[in-house]
Amino acid sequence: MNYDETLNYLYNQMPEFQRIGHLAYKPGLDNSYKLDAIFERPHTRYKTIHVGGTNGKGSTSHLITSILIQSGYKVGLYTSPHLIDFRERIRVNGEMVSKEYVIEFVEKYRAQFEPVMPSFFELTMEMAFKYFEEQEVDVAVIEVGLGGRLDSTNIISPEMCVITNIGFDHVQFLGNSLEAIAREKAGIIKPHTPVVIGEASDQNIRNVFVNKAGQEEAPIIFAEEEIIDFVSKRDEDCLHFSGGGFNNIKSQLNGLAQEKNARTVITAIKELKKIGYSITDDAVYTGFENVVRLTGLMGRWQQLSDKPRIICDTGHNSHGIKYIVEQLRNEQYDNLHIVFGMVNDKDVSSVLELVPKDAKYYFTRASIERALTPEEIAKKALVYGLRGDTYDNIKQAIDAAKQNADENDLIFIGGSSFIVADALPYFV
């Protein structure tokens, strides 16, 4: 098989949550342990850092990776979903796994893994673990896929865990209360392993983490308490922040949500230093300032074009969208155009309730089975006073927005990671 044929095999033979949603969800770790046994537990041959949470775990994973690279470590990075290329999920020092490795992995191990009937996520996770072993990484940063307790990645024994925040998402799997979701996310906390909590202002959520950490005898560090002198400001190009012994760090990621992520990352770095990692202050500064170049991160308040300005963001639930809406309020423009779509397992109403009422909408759908039709979204949007036209695909919606926008207008593309994924190839 060539690369495209290999990907088609993976997508079609392995149930993929990214495409079909709940039908691909396999609760429990049985398959992961079976696969891990086949590959002889490759993740035990290097250090790991586990990053979970509702939002911000991707940015946090990339930032920690960037800083570790700048500190001289060889770093594996496993994240999901990908936006343009499957290989974005598996990187070493920012470089994507080769197409040849993906092909060879499937051909070499197919007879062994097929009887397990793994999901797409389970298999690609194990592919990453094996690749990191063969590349002899020093440490791998592993992003949780969904939840925590029953997520496939929870078979690792990390040196540190990070939980960014708790919000409503995947409630059909994780529970319909913040406490229930927090319990699932807290499932990655391991015995005697430090855990950094990014946000936990809600006392009930805090109690969930404190109780779980207590059961595991795990040191727990709350970023909001660890760095109380945190201050930030943002210009058009980057986020500037100070705190925790650092002054005027510049981050390439300048979305409002990145202020919370930055404090979480700084706290995590401090803990890594305590357990023996050699990380200089200079590596922290350069890691933040060059995270996109060093790790290939895309889709986080990313400007795609100018005159009119076009910005995309992968925020896809109410917890993430609230930061986007606040940031849109602070932007300068004559008129706002929003290219918008969502998938069918999200709480669409909670998002539509938040997004700007004074924008012209271009309702569209991502090219995955889970996507809501433009007509479905437009109908739901009317309830919240949102009006616009419908378009069969993202290209039609973007073309219409660009045609209607003047050079001083702003076009925002979002609502779903998959809308952003479909849009990016037209700009990058």
* pTM of the complete model: 0.94
Q: Give the Cα separation of 68 and 198 in Å (integer).
A: 19
Q: Give the Cα separation of 186 and 184 in Å (integer).
A: 5
Q: Give the Cα separation of 246 and 255 in Å (integer).
A: 20
Rounded to whole angstroms, what are the CA distances from 365 to 8, 75, 154, 341? 22, 35, 32, 5
Render each residue's pLDDT in the chain as its tens digit; 428 residues. 999 999 999 988 875 434 444 444 556 799 999 999 999 999 999 999 999 998 899 999 999 999 999 999 999 999 999 999 999 999 999 999 999 999 999 999 999 999 998 889 999 999 999 999 999 999 999 999 988 888 999 999 999 999 999 886 544 556 568 898 999 999 999 999 999 999 988 899 999 999 999 999 999 999 999 999 999 988 777 899 999 999 999 999 988 889 999 999 999 999 999 999 999 999 999 999 999 999 999 999 999 999 999 999 999 788 889 999 999 998 999 999 999 999 887 789 999 999 999 999 999 999 988 899 999 999 999 999 999 999 999 999 999 999 999 999 999 999 999 999 999 999 97
Q: Give the Cα separation of 380 and 366 in Å (integer).
A: 17
* Largest separation between any pair of C-alpha atoms in the chain: 59
Q: Select 3-295's CATH number: 3.40.50.720, 3.40.1190.10, 3.40.50.2300, 2.10.109.10.
A: 3.40.1190.10
Give CATH for domain 302-426.
3.90.190.20
Q: Are 164 and 53 in contact (CB under 8 A)?
A: yes
Domain boundary assignment for the chain: 3-295, 302-426
Q: Give the Cα separation of 138 and 119 in Å (integer).
A: 28
Contacts by 353-356, CB closer than 8 A, 24 or more apart: 353/318, 353/384, 354/318, 354/321, 354/322, 354/325, 355/321, 355/325, 355/384, 355/386, 356/325, 356/328, 356/329
Domains 3-295 and 302-426 share a fold: no
